[in-house]
Structure 1
Amino acid sequence: MTTDHGECWLCGRPLGRRVEWHHPIPKSRGGRLTVPLHPICHRSIHAVLDNGQLARLRPEPSALRQVPEIDRFVRWVRDKPPDFHAPTRRRK
């Protein structure tokens, strides 16, 4: 089963069975727009950046990819299947 949401906002891979919705500008900072993500991509964003940091970035994937940890993650996950899952570690 595939979704009709197309591709992941962060990594650009086709979406799989599970889709999570992310606010590029956090709701707590007035964001209303949501974008579709793989669960692993969503968890990776929040493992690296808090809401304050997200609010200071431009609300587009290219801005997130300028963060070294997120860029490294996107390069690592780009060849994985849409429903790939792995544990996500929080930044220390």
Structure 2
Amino acid sequence: MEQRCALCDRILGEKIEMHHLVPKSQGGKETVPLHPICHRKIHTTFKEKTLARNFATIDCLRNDQEIQRFIAWLEGKPPDFFKRTSQTQKR
């Protein structure tokens, strides 16, 4: 069975990164597999304290409008697609 990205639900490629749902700096231990581009998007969008407080589940992340636009943009792209993630204002 093919493994899927926890954020965008596309099939994972050769490169997989593990994302701490609650950042390690905030005491988190649980991880989920992500594409590198999905992982970068999360960390360029949110500060670690914000992740721990408001986005400690995949469902919470997916409900964010910016993340929804990002997931829609990724749709149909190959598993190992990577484009430099633009820096957004961290919330």
The residue aligned with 1:50 is 47
Which letter maps to 2:56?
P
- For 1:55 and 1:61, the matched residues in 2 are separated by 12
Gaps of 5+ in 1: none
| Cα RMSD (Å) | 1.5
Structure 1-normalised TM-score? 0.88
% same residue: 47
Which of 56, 72, 82 matches 1:75?
Answer: 72
- For 2:48 and 2:83, the matched residues in 1 are separated by 23
The residue aligned with 2:59 is 62
- For 2:80 and 2:55, the matched residues in 1 are separated by 27
Say whether residues 1:28 and 2:61 are aligned partners.
no
Q: How many residues align?
A: 89
4+ runs deviating over 6 angstroms:
none
Gaps of 5+ in 2: none
Question: Structure 1, residues 26-70: CA drift from partner, whole Å, max 9, x if none?
Answer: 111110011110000000001101101101124222211222211
Say whether residues 1:39 and 2:36 are aligned partners.
yes
- For 2:49 and 2:56, the matched residues in 1 are separated by 13
Structure 2-normalised TM-score? 0.89
